[in-house]
Amino acid sequence: MRELGRGVTAVAVAGLLTALVATSSGAASRATRAFDGMWSVSIYTESGPCDPSYRYPARIIGGQIQQADNDFSYQLSGVVISSGAIAVTVTKNGQSATGYGRLRDGKGGGRWSAESVQCFGTWNAVRRG
């Protein structure tokens, strides 16, 4: 995948969604399996030097968000809780992007930002399995 600005990749932006984890004590204990499976995530840049759009796969297991491919050049971490609230951080080469939103009925959406490269936008997701 092409890189965004100073080393943040498309996957970093796509990885979207951790403040929920950081600010919501006990989020891991409230994680759910209701959203487990493969998801197709589309990212749209509204502002900044990042590419206009991206698409990538993500996997949710036990409410934990993981990368769904074998590209180990980035780290993806996040959580979905029983309400469907979702938060993710993706890190690559010391740069990070965060995203927040909600999943419901096999789809979802929210906002993301990569402040180090001054990009932000929206995302949406559809369950694939």
Domain residue spans of the chain: 3-127
3-127 homologous superfamily: Quinohemoprotein amine dehydrogenase alpha subunit, domain 2 (2.40.128.120)
Q: What are the DSSP calls for the chain, one per residue?
A: -PEETTTEEHHHHHT---HHHHHSTTTGGGB-STT-EEEEEEEEEEESSS-SEEEEEEEEETTEEEE-SS-TTSEEEEEEBTT-EEEEEEEETTEEEEEEEEEETTEEEEEEEEGGGTEEEEEEEEE--
Give the pTM. 0.74
pLDDT by 10s per residue, the chain, length 129: 334 443 443 433 344 333 344 334 444 445 688 999 999 888 899 999 888 987 778 899 999 999 888 888 777 789 999 999 999 887 777 778 899 999 999 999 999 999 888 999 999 999 997
Of 76, 71, 62, the C-alpha closest to 32 is: 62
